[in-house]
């Protein structure tokens, strides 16, 4: 099977189970750090730590519930699956008591293996468990035989020999002494456990060290120094601890920063003070590995018919007829509903995967602040026409270029009509058939010719005979709305036209309609795609009012 670029870049890794087994059996002191969801797991992995503790306490806390098996085991499973999906280091799940008896544990092990979780730790208490630092005097221990049966059942059912089962001894936690702890550890070892987690609630490591001393490394020992955090790590090393679990520090760190941030936002009712104290959104995208999706899209989506199209939006004019509304901004930046006119056009383009967008700005160009656009300037916007603006964007006339007026609002399908037109013509324009002959405002009206095409299911095709800037009249076939697609020879023609005419005395007053007529006069077939309504040219306050009603 042919591989693709993404898979080739993957370095082969050891199985997660093998990684965890190696870590537990290594002669060095090793560490696991708690994580409770996908993003915290990823953050743990990025530090270089070799493994993750999927803490029951932290997973519960992150959902706002108690560490008393209040969330179901399948909810835990779903959570740990997401953690595993996003990371390459092994996860040891804190499986509490195994969520029931031996049979429940069998099912848990099966489901964990299916999700690439490297191991599970089970504790010798009763379901539903209570956290080891709460009401410990009232916590009964599991019957030794019953717990051994559970371990055996788990070991019997695991498919991968390297899957790890850690048996957690809670004898110290519940007030039993060293002998009980040793007795249990021994039994759990004989039942097949891969390591013993010896837990303690003391603020020093005396209990765990006394256990280790007697235990003599018959199985690797795992500890959780949440309460005896002040014991130096070097002592753990000297005492031949195998693995230290930092069990809840990611959730506690998150809670600290969330409380601070929430309080600050509540007090300030604004974001100024917090913005620089938290990660930028960009960092979230990085953690989510957005880049991988960009790369994958290149491979799997391929070049869609529109991805090689770019756009030029002519948005240099102030829009004086809009009066006060355009004193401080160009009309392209006026809002219609929740979005500016320009943003609406850009969104339609981007929805069609057109991301190479150039805007020719002029009046109050600094008001056009969108960072995803390439802005060029027509400095002479006050006394020049559309072709001067187009000249400012001449380097943006590429393979297939859409030119769009920056003051029109149109429905999404209008853009699709012109993009989907894959006939051979190099110039396609959108024309509205609806003309109000009583209308008083001048616009670009079109006279067309129709050519019969019996080959096509759409039969007849319409082409521009002439485009005239004039008062409306029924003698025209429609109104050009200000969207034109140029491709093939039409691109070179436009560049040549701009070059040869730019110094002529009437160039300053020339508009795109002049270019269209030059296309027609030079033998280009300027194809028409008709629409009926569904767009608004925002020239006056009444247009804006209408646009706000409709969009």
Select 72 or 500, whichever has its Cβ closest to Mg ion.
Answer: 72
Return the structure tokens found at 353.
């995967």
Q: How far, in Å, CA of 122 to CA of 170, rounded?
A: 10
Separation CA 295–CA 107 (nearest Å):
38
Q: Is 67 a catalytic residue?
A: yes
Tokens 């009206």, residue located: 445
Cβ-count burial 516-525 (b if 16+ within 10 Å, e if not): bbebbeeebb
Give min distance, CB of 286 to Mg ion, in A.
Answer: 31
Task: Select from 132, 332, 358, 388 the one that contacts ligand SPV (CB under 6 A).
Answer: 132
Choice between 57 and 428, CB closer to ligand SPV: 57
Comparing CB distances to ligand SPV, the nearer of 37 and 513 is: 37
> For residue 391, which phi and psi values (nearest 5 degrees)?
-60, -35
Sign of CA dihedral 119, 124, 128, 134: negative
* Contacting range for ligand SPV; rule: CB under 6 A; set: 37-45, 50-58, 74-82, 465-473: 50-58
Q: Which does 247 bind (CB under 5 to 8 A by kind): ligand SPV, Mg ion, none?
A: ligand SPV
Q: Which residue is nearest to Mg ion (CB)?
A: 56
H or E stretch covering 312: strand 309-315
Q: Which is nearer to ligand SPV, 241 or 247 (CB)?
A: 247
CA-to-CA distance for 358 and 4, rounded, in angstroms? 33
Catalytically annotated residue among 67, 94, 477, 537: 67
By CB under 6 A, the count of residues binding ligand SPV is: 11
- Are the C-beta atoms of 120 and 84 separated by less than 8 Å? no
Cα 223 from chain centroid (whole Å): 37
Residue 73 φ then ψ, to 5°: -65, -25
Q: Which is nearer to ligand SPV, 75 or 307 (CB)?
A: 75
Q: Where are the beta strands (DSSP E) in 7-118?
A: 30-35, 52-54, 91-94
Helix ranges, 327-410 (H): 341-351, 386-392
Q: Which of residues 58-77 bind ligand SPV (CB under 6 A)?
A: 58
Please return the burial class of 328, using the count of CB atoms within 10 Å of its CB with bins 0-12, 13-18 and 19+.
exposed
Least Å from the CB of residue 142 to Mg ion: 15
Tokens matching residue 235: 């002592």
- Name which position in 23, 32, 35, 57 contacts ligand SPV (CB under 6 A): 57
| CB nearer to ligand SPV: pick between 176 and 551 | 176
Considering CB under 5 A, how many residues would be counted as binding Mg ion?
3
Binders in 74-103 for ligand SPV, by CB under 6 A: 94
Q: Which of residues 29-58 bind Mg ion (CB under 5 A)?
A: 56-57
- Residue 224 touches which of Mg ion, ligand SPV, none (Cβ within 5-8 Å per kind): ligand SPV
The least CB distance from residue 279 to ligand SPV, in Å, is 25
The one among 17, 37, 55, 87 contacting ligand SPV by CB under 6 A: 55
Query: Hey, which bits of 75-202 come out as E strands?
Result: 91-94, 119-123, 164-169, 195-198
Through-space distance between the first and last CA atoms of the chain, rounded to whole angstroms = 50
Distance CA 384, CA 125 (A): 83
Encoded one letter per residue, x for contact with ligand SPV by CB under 6 A and - for no contact, window 228-257 reads: -------------------xx---------
DSSP one-letter code for 472:
-
Q: Which is nearer to Mg ion, 94 or 543 (CB)?
A: 94
Contact 309, 419 (CB under 8 A): yes
- 3-state DSSP assignment of residue 339: strand
Q: How far apart are CA 446 and CA 527, in angstroms?
A: 12
CA gap 526, 523 in Å, rounded: 9
Contact 310, 358 (CB under 8 A): yes
Token couple for 132: 């080891």
* Residue 132 site contact among Mg ion, ligand SPV, none (CB < 5 to 8 Å, cut-off depends on kind): ligand SPV
User: Which of the ranges 21-29, 51-59, 328-336, 398-406 carries the binding residues for ligand SPV, by CB under 6 A?
Assistant: 51-59
What is the footprint of Mg ion within residues 84-103 (CB under 5 A)? 94
224 binds ligand SPV (CB under 6 A): yes
Q: Which does 448 bind (CB under 5 to 8 A by kind): Mg ion, ligand SPV, none?
A: none
Min dist. Cβ of residue 550 to ligand SPV (A)? 57
Instruction: State the alpha helices, DSSP H only, in 10-72.
Output: 16-25, 38-47, 56-62
**Which is nearer to ligand SPV, 226 or 378 (by Cβ)?**
226
Give the nearest distance from C-beta 63 to ligand SPV in angstroms: 13
Question: Which is closer to ligand SPV, CB of 19 or CB of 226?
Answer: 226
Told to check if 171 binds ligand SPV by CB under 6 A, we report: no
Question: DSSP assignment, residue 263?
Answer: H
Our CB check for ligand SPV shows the closer of 221 and 375 to be 221
| Residue 37 interacting entry, from Mg ion, ligand SPV, none, C-beta within 5 to 8 Å by type | none
Q: Which residues contact 64 (CB under 8 A, 6 or more apart)?
A: none
Nearest to 314 by CA among 347, 354, 358: 358
Binding segment (CB under 6 A) for ligand SPV, from list 56-64, 157-165, 443-451, 497-505: 56-64
The two tokens of residue 427 are 């110039």
- Using rule CB under 6 A, residue 56 touches ligand SPV: yes
Which residues are at the interface with ligand SPV (CB under 6 A)?
A: 55-58, 94, 131-132, 224, 226, 247-248
Which residues are at the interface with Mg ion (CB under 5 A)?
A: 56-57, 94
Instruction: Report the catalytic residues.
Output: 67
């Amino acid at each position: 099977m042919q591989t693709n670029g993404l898979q080739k870049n993957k370095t082969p890794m050891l199985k997660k189970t093998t990684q965890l087994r190696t870590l537990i059996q290594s002669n060095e002191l090793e560490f696991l750090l708690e994580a409770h969801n996908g993003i915290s797991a990823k953050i743990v992995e990025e530090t270089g730590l070799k493994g993750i503790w999927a803490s029951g306490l932290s997973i519960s806390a992150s959902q706002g519930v108690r560490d008393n098996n209040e969330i179901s085991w399948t909810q835990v499973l779903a959570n740990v699956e997401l953690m595993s999906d996003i990371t390459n280091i092994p996860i040891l799940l804190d499986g509490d008591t195994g969520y029931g008896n031996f049979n429940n544990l069998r099912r848990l092990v099966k489901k964990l293996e299916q999700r690439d979780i490297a191991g599970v730790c089970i504790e010798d208490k009763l379901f539903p468990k209570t956290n080891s630092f709460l009401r410990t005097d009232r916590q009964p221990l599991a019957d030794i035989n019953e717990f051994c049966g559970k371990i055996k059942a788990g070991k019997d059912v695991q498919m991968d020999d390297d899957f790890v089962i850690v048996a957690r001894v809670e004898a110290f936690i519940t007030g039993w002494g060293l002998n009980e702890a040793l007795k249990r550890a021994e039994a759990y070892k004989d039942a097949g456990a891969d390591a013993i987690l010896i837990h303690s609630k003391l603020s020093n490591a005396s209990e765990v060290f006394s256990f280790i001393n007697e235990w003599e490394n018959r199985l690797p020992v795992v500890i959780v120094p949440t309460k005896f955090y002040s014991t130096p790590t070097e002592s753990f090393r000297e005492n031949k601890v195998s693995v230290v679990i930092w069990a809840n520090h990611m959730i506690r760190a998150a809670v600290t920063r969330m409380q601070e941030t929430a309080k600050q936002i509540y007090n300030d009712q604004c974001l100024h003070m917090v913005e620089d104290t938290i990660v930028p959104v960009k960092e979230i995208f990085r953690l989510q590995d957005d880049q991988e999706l960009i790369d994958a899209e290149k491979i799997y989506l391929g070049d869609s018919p529109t991805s090689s199209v770019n756009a030029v939006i002519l948005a240099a004019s102030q829009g004086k007829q809009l009066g006060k509304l355009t004193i401080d901004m160009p009309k392209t930046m006026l809002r219609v509903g929740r979005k500016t006119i320009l943003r609406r056009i850009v969104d339609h383009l981007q929805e069609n995967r057109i991301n190479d967008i150039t805007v020719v700005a002029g009046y109050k160009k600094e008001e056009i602040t969108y960072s995803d656009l390439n802005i060029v300037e027509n400095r002479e916007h006050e006394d020049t026409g559309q072709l001067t603006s187009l000249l400012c964007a001449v380097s943006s006339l590429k393979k297939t270029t859409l030119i769009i007026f920056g003051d029109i609002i149109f429905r999404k399908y209008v853009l699709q009509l012109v993009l989907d037109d894959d006939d051979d013509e190099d110039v396609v324009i959108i024309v509205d058939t609806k003309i109000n002959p009583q209308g008083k405002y001048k616009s670009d009206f079109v006279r067309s010719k129709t050519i019969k095409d019996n080959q096509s299911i759409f039969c007849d095709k319409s082409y521009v005979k002439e485009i005239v800037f004039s008062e409306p009249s029924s003698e025209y076939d429609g109104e050009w709305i200000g969207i034109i697609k140029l491709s093939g020879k039409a691109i070179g023609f436009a560049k040549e036209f701009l070059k040869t005419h730019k110094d002529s005395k009437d160039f300053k007053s020339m508009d795109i309609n002049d270019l269209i007529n030059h296309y027609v006069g030079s033998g280009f077939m300027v194809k028409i795609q008709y629409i009926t309504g569904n767009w608004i040219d925002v020239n006056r306050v009444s247009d804006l009012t209408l646009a706000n009603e409709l969009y």
